[in-house]
Amino acid sequence: MSDLVVRRIGRLTTWARPVVPDAALVIRDGRVEWFGPDRELNATGHLPELDAGGAAVLPGLVDCHTHAVWAGSRRDDFVGRLSGAPYSPAGIHSTVAATRAASYDELRAFAQRRVATMVRNGTTTVEVKSGYGLTVDDELKLLDVAAALQGPSVTTTYLGAHVVPRDRDRDDYVDEVVQTLPEARSRGATWCDVFCDEGAFTVDEARLILTEARAHGFGLRIHAEQMTRTGAAALAAELGCASADHLDHVSANDAAAMAAAGVVAVLVPVASLYTRSGRWDHATTLTKAGCTLAVATDCNPGTSWCESLPYAMQLACLEMGLPVETVLRAATLGGAQALRRDDIGHLGAGGRGDLVVLDAAHEADLLAHLGVNGISRTIVGGSPNG
């Protein structure tokens, strides 16, 4: 955890106060100590200084849904969809085969490269799921890889319930996922997730797994209503999940139940684009119901080969029709809420010194300027990373 003074900030977004023009920000021991007009900055002794050169600064981006640990490629699925083949979770099996065949070191190198790209694109906290191992040992290997990743803050999620492996009996596999929970927890996973959809797990299976997970101290998340409406979002409300993610097929009643239960709605618009679902209206349904929104990359080889959270944010604006400020909040504060963290996603006093310096004078330009990396510096815990 470092000390840093950021000066000559053109526009500083903290979410603690309105945007501060011509601002400075002081980080001590990795925490925000002070921010305000640059001209009011008191002498800071020998703290290292960063000159933002008039650029806009935002809280570091929080990517609360990724599957960043995998080997192999799904380019054939991608090509197939261009000639009209629909997305199928069955594609997960080919990634599982490639991932099982890779060593720990290979997997770590692949994932580390992806996470470094995320940081260059502004991510300072990332959630990483297992889910491409699907044996006890392979799932634990993926959790170990996730826990070893360097750069951003990492939180890990056990997703043994991604799909039922081809060679396994359903009930036996669900039982194995449940039996693996204590070991997954001891490898540092704090979250448990289930892919609840046609071709993956049923609502009853998800309820069983997540209820057991809660008893073992996990926080809960769920892949819900992605390809079909199954009732997974209502289950998220029933169980008090921290988030329900995807939600392309969510109903107004589901959304109301989520809002009442404080379940954060995680939008993953790159997956909607990549699978060519053509569905964007769920963001409006969720907003109307009063849900807290987050936006995430869902970085994975099958439905969202994308490390850039700003790209997901741009789709949230342009395809889902969400306003700029809503999307900036969703990718920072919303992600933090989805991870039940109050020390990230904002730059109020005491918050973590995680921030991004944009390659632009105004924060809206991160969304308006397409096809470039709009981030010029990413600072994690007060230490310049990228």
Which of the listed partners (Fe ion, ligand NIG, none) does 6 bind, with a CB threshold of 5 to 8 Å by partner kind? none
Applying the rule CB under 5 A, the residues between 276 and 335 that interact with Fe ion are 298
- DSSP three-state, residue 33: strand
Give the sign of the dihedral formed by CA 327, CA 332, CA 337, CA 342: negative
DSSP 352: B
- DSSP three-state, residue 169: coil
Only one of the segments 97-105, 253-261, 284-292, 294-302 lies at the binding site for ligand NIG (rule: CB under 6 A); that segment is 294-302
Pick the binder of ligand NIG from 157, 226, 285, 314 (CB under 6 A): 226
303 binds ligand NIG (CB under 6 A): yes
Residue nearer to Fe ion on the CB measure, 186 or 228: 228
Applying the rule CB under 6 A, the residues between 48 and 77 that interact with ligand NIG are 67
Partners of 139 in the β-ladder: none
Which of the listed partners (ligand NIG, Fe ion, none) does 218 bind, with a CB threshold of 5 to 8 Å by partner kind? none
Only one of the segments 103-111, 167-175, 298-306, 328-336 lies at the binding site for ligand NIG (rule: CB under 6 A); that segment is 298-306
Nearest Cα neighbor of 130 from 166, 168, 167, 92 is: 92
Neighbouring CB atoms inside 10 A of 260's CB total 12
Applying the rule CB under 6 A, the residues between 87 and 126 that interact with ligand NIG are 91-92, 95
Question: What is the Cα 64 distance to its own chain's centre?
Answer: 2
Which residues have CB under 8 Å from 14's CB, separation 6+? 20, 32, 35, 59, 346, 347, 348
Which of the listed partners (Fe ion, ligand NIG, none) does 226 bind, with a CB threshold of 5 to 8 Å by partner kind? ligand NIG
CB of 213 to ligand NIG, least distance (A): 17
Residue 138 phi/psi, 5° resolution? -70, -40
Residues in contact with Fe ion by the rule CB under 5 A: 298
Residues in contact with ligand NIG by the rule CB under 6 A: 67, 91-92, 95, 195, 223, 226, 271, 298, 300-303
